[in-house]
Amino acid sequence: MSGTITRLETFEILIPLPKPLLMGAMYIAEREYTFVRIHDDEGNIGTSYGLSRNAPISATIERLISPRWINQKIDDHDDFYTRTAKANAFLGTNGIFWRALSLADCALYDLLAKRANQPLCEYLGGSVKTIPATVAGCYPVADETPASLIEQMQHMAEYKPAGIKITSSSDYARDTERMTICRQAIPDGPGFINDVYCGAKDAESLLVEARKWHDLNMMWLEDPFTFDDYDNVGKLADGLPYPVGQGDEQCGLLHFERLIELGHIQVLRLDATACGGVRGFLEAAKLAEKYNIPISTHIFHHLHGQLAAAVPNVKWIEYMLPESNVESIHAVWNSNLEWKDGGLALTDAPGVGFDWNEEAITHYRSGTA
């Protein structure tokens, strides 16, 4: 197929949360998302979005990526992606530039699948189906009580998910108390995931409480340390009777490879909006497959559902229930994926299958919310 890229449109939207989230040093009162839209000369548009984490993602795309992509032949996408990465080699293999490049690549693959009039999973060789999902919730908030934890847990369990993620309070003794309450609320419910969001000081202090969590039916402990803290991740993995999952919002194939080869992670967490885009996701998934390591994705269920339907070792996608009030992107959708049989049912819409509310996007983009 012929065609050229005529425009890269990128911008941020800011959507408040009903209640601020308290995650250690992170106080999250709103969610800022970066949007990327790639236009071709036939009127097709590929779209992606991701968390900006308050970084200048749009500005990075406009300055470092758009000049190298506009007017390029779409069929040459492998070439101009690679040239863009090499041209910015001094920015490393992680961080703001790679988040920007990842979002551009995700929008490009949405465009490629739309041009082929296929769902992205079919464009990549998979098929439309229902994907098993974990649900994330129980983020610490100022007015949390045992009763509110129980109510959240019982509500999430009604969906019969593959697992439930409970976000750490950053006080690990308190986490033991919180997760004990949660397990008592659903004694026969799915396994737990505790997300420590790279906040642990060292393996020794975390292990004191983390070993106790084994009796609560843990699926894995998630992102205990920063991505390159190999020593602490390894000590933790060696000291726990259940898996460690690592990789949220990270990139750099060599980082993934080293963690995997050292035997430090038993579940690979992947996020296409940060790990190098769709092509970075596929490369990391291929590496994990070599070592028989399952993959769990980080939110963005429309995109990651499509990738899971094409990549066999993606076992779970992550979903944040709109009513949990820990995400706000649903405010700019007309419709969402249907929950079915403990997972999310993909549609046969071309591309990733977003159904955007353009009026809402304009509203939150304009800063009038």
75 close to 1: Cβ distance less than 8 angstroms: yes
- Residues 47-63: pLDDT tens digits? 999 999 999 999 999 99
CA–CA separation, 209 and 195 (whole Å): 14
- In SS3 terms, 67-120 reads as HHHCCCEHHHHHHHHHHHHHHCHHHCCCCHHHHHHHHHHHHHHHHHHHHCCCEH
Give the model's pLDDT for residue 171: 95
Place 369 in a pLDDT band, splitting at 50, 70 and 90: very low
If we measure between CA atoms, which residue out of 328, 330, 295, 293 comes closest to residue 162? 295
User: What one-letter code names the amino acid at 116?
Assistant: A
If we measure between CA atoms, which residue out of 259, 320, 309 comes closest to residue 284? 259
Supply the mean pLDDT for the chain: 95
Please state, in angstroms and as integers, the Cα–Cα distance from residue 322 to each residue in 13, 130, 202, 331, 345, following that order.
Answer: 18, 19, 34, 9, 16
105 close to 279: Cβ distance less than 8 angstroms: yes
- 301 CB-contact burial (10 Å; exposed 0-12 / middle 13-18 / buried 19+): buried
Q: How, if at all, do strands 45-51 and 26-40 pair?
A: antiparallel
pLDDT greater at residue 141 or residue 298: 298
CATH fold of 122-345 reads TIM Barrel (3.20.20)
- 209 CB-contact burial (10 Å; exposed 0-12 / middle 13-18 / buried 19+): middle
- Residues 144-172: pLDDT tens digits? 999 999 999 999 999 999 999 999 999 99
- Residues 221-263: pLDDT tens digits? 999 998 889 999 999 999 999 999 999 998 888 888 988 888 8
- Residues 355-364: pLDDT tens digits? 999 999 999 9
Structure tokens at 92: 């490393």
pLDDT above 70: residue 367: no
3-state secondary structure of 194: strand
Structure tokens at 247: 């990789």
Alpha helices in the chain (DSSP H): 57-60, 66-69, 77-87, 96-115, 120-123, 146-157, 172-185, 203-210, 230-239, 253-261, 277-290, 301-308, 358-365
Domain spans in the chain, listed from the N-terminal domain onward: 5-117+358-365, 122-345
Tell which phi-psi region holds residue 252, choosing left (phi > 0), alpha (psi between -120 and 50) or beta. left
Q: What is the percent of the chain where pLDDT is above 70?
A: 98
Q: What is the DSSP string of 140-161?
A: --TT--HHHHHHHHHHHHTT--
Please state, in angstroms and as integers, the Cα–Cα distance from residue 100 to each residue in 24, 88, 170, 327, 346, following that order.
Answer: 26, 12, 29, 21, 26
Options 3.90.1150.10, 3.90.950.10, 3.40.50.300, 3.30.390.10; CATH of 5-117+358-365: 3.30.390.10
3-state secondary structure of 365: helix
